[in-house]
Amino acid sequence: MDRQHPTPQPTVGRFAPSPTGALHFGSLVTAVGSYCLARQTGGKWLMRMEDLDTPRVVPGAADEILWTLEALGFEWDEEVLYQSRRTDRYEAALERLREQGRIFDCGCTRKEILASAPHPGEEGPVYPGTCRHGLAAGRRPRALRVRVPEEKVCFADGLFGAVEQHLVSAVGDFVLRRADGLFAYQLAVVVDDAECGVNQVVRGADLLSSTPRQVFLYACLGWPPPRFVHLPLALAPDGEKISKRHGTLARGDLQEGGGSLCRALRFLGQQPPAGLDLAPARDVLSWAIAHFDLKRVPSRSRPAEG
Ligand code: GLU
């Protein structure tokens, strides 16, 4: 093989919704972006249901999401992966980290962490390291955490550019298995993307601050990290990230064919011709794959209509 010009790896992208409700405009934006960026290089696009957080899973939501995506003309490669059926894989990864001496039992309750955290972190209080060197006598193990390094974690985002984070001060030793026994998103997402050969992760900018934790786990597990592209978030009029609470894509919306896809494309700075709004969804997606340009995507999260 030519060392100077190695054959580029075909892109493997994915969409990984949490089935906590039906698809909404914000998740459609992510689906469109990740689909176009995978398909325009002839790459694969995988589908994964992030249904590990069982208390939040809504029965029927996974099928509803798949139905909606199909109605909008999306096609995925391979079988849909359900995280809830892959817990043995997360256990195996945890075991490898355990062998490396990186994880520890933590006996702290949420309340205790809040009371002793040095300062508020990226997502709630920073773990102060209480159980890092062993559980105090009489403490019951609750969550499993991984020790984070002193060095900053850096990666290059396809839209936001160079990102770095000092895990110790931003989050502290973070949870890989929760006190209720459920595997944490941070671990599952890394194991799944790595084991499925995903080399391009395109998702919402709300996960930008999680990515350094994931890049760190890739390094611990000896896997190359994928390319990351974080897309701007569609905000509701109240300035919050659009969620299922702000309304989902109703079956009626889908009858307008490509209209919702065109809205998502415009939100991502693309310029579908006006006539395309009335075209069948499949035609909009074909146009989008051929014309999607990451350079046009604004990084600023903003209201959906604007
Ligand atoms: N399941 C997450 C969500 O629905 C996305 C996780 C990811 O893409 O890494 O927001």
Domain with residue 51: its CATH number is: 3.40.50.620
Number of domains in the chain: 2
Q: 210 and 296, same structural domain?
A: yes
Q: 113 and 37, same structural domain?
A: no
Atom number, ligand 1, closest to the C-alpha of residue 50: 1
Tokens of 66: 């798949």
Angle at 152 between CA 30 and CA 16, to 5 degrees: 20
Q: 83 and 219, same structural domain?
A: yes
**CA distance to 58, 69, 127, per residue, from 63 (Å):** 10, 10, 37
Last residue of a domain, one of 186, 211, 246: 186
Domain with residue 133: its CATH number is: 3.90.800.10
Q: Which of 19, 146, 22, 23 is nearest to 84 (CA)?
A: 19
Whether ligand 1 lies within 6 angstroms of the CB of 52 is answered as no
pLDDT band for position 1 (cuts 50, 70, 90): very low
**Amino acid code (one letter) for 217:** L
Q: 207 and 64, same structural domain?
A: yes
Do the domain assignments include residue 94? no
Is 0.75 surpassed by the pTM of this model?
yes
Do the domain assignments include residue 209? yes
| Residue to substitute in 12, 14, 15, 18 for testing ligand 1 pocket (most ligand atoms within 8 angstroms of CB) | 18
Query: Tens of pLDDT along 25-47?
Result: 999 999 999 999 999 999 999 99
Among residues of the chain, what percentage have pLDDT more than 90? Answer: 78
Closest CA to ligand 1's atom 4: 17
Q: 83 and 200, same structural domain?
A: yes
Ligand 1 centroid to Cα of residue 89, in Å, is 19
Whether ligand 1 lies within 6 angstroms of the CB of 203 is answered as yes
Atom number, ligand 1, closest to the C-alpha of residue 14: 8
| pLDDT over threshold 50, residue 289 | yes
Q: 172 and 223, same structural domain?
A: no
| pLDDT over threshold 50, residue 233 | yes
Q: 70 and 200, same structural domain?
A: yes
Do the domain assignments include residue 2? no
| Residue to substitute in 32, 207, 231 for testing ligand 1 pocket (most ligand atoms within 8 angstroms of CB) | 207
| pLDDT over threshold 70, residue 252 | no
Query: Tens of pLDDT along 97-112?
Result: 999 999 999 999 988 8
- What domain range is 140 assigned to? 101-186
Ligand 1 centroid to Cα of residue 209, in Å, is 13
**What is the C-alpha to C-alpha distance for residues 131 and 291, in angstroms, rounded to an integer?**
52
Q: Which of 4, 149, 8, 13 is nearest to 76 (CA)?
A: 13
Query: Tens of pLDDT along 200-228?
Result: 999 999 999 999 999 999 999 999 999 99
CB 147 within 8 A of CB 104: yes
CB 200 within 8 A of CB 102: no
Identify the pLDDT of residue 239.
Answer: 79
pLDDT band for position 5 (cuts 50, 70, 90): low
**What is the C-alpha to C-alpha distance for residues 121 and 170, in angstroms, rounded to an integer?**
5
Q: 209 and 81, same structural domain?
A: yes
Ligand 1 centroid to Cα of residue 17, in Å, is 5
Q: 56 and 109, same structural domain?
A: no
Query: Tens of pLDDT along 57-113?
Result: 999 999 999 999 999 999 999 999 999 999 999 999 999 999 999 999 999 998 888
Whether ligand 1 lies within 6 angstroms of the CB of 17 is answered as yes
Q: What is the mean pLDDT of the chain?
A: 92
Q: 236 and 157, same structural domain?
A: no
From 114-118, 255-259, 280-284, the region with the lowest mean pLDDT: 255-259
What letters, b where the CB count within 10 A reaches 16 and e where it falls short, cover 94-127? beebeeeebbbebbbeeeebeeebeeebbeebbb
Whether ligand 1 lies within 6 angstroms of the CB of 48 is answered as no
pLDDT band for position 6 (cuts 50, 70, 90): low
Q: 105 and 62, same structural domain?
A: no
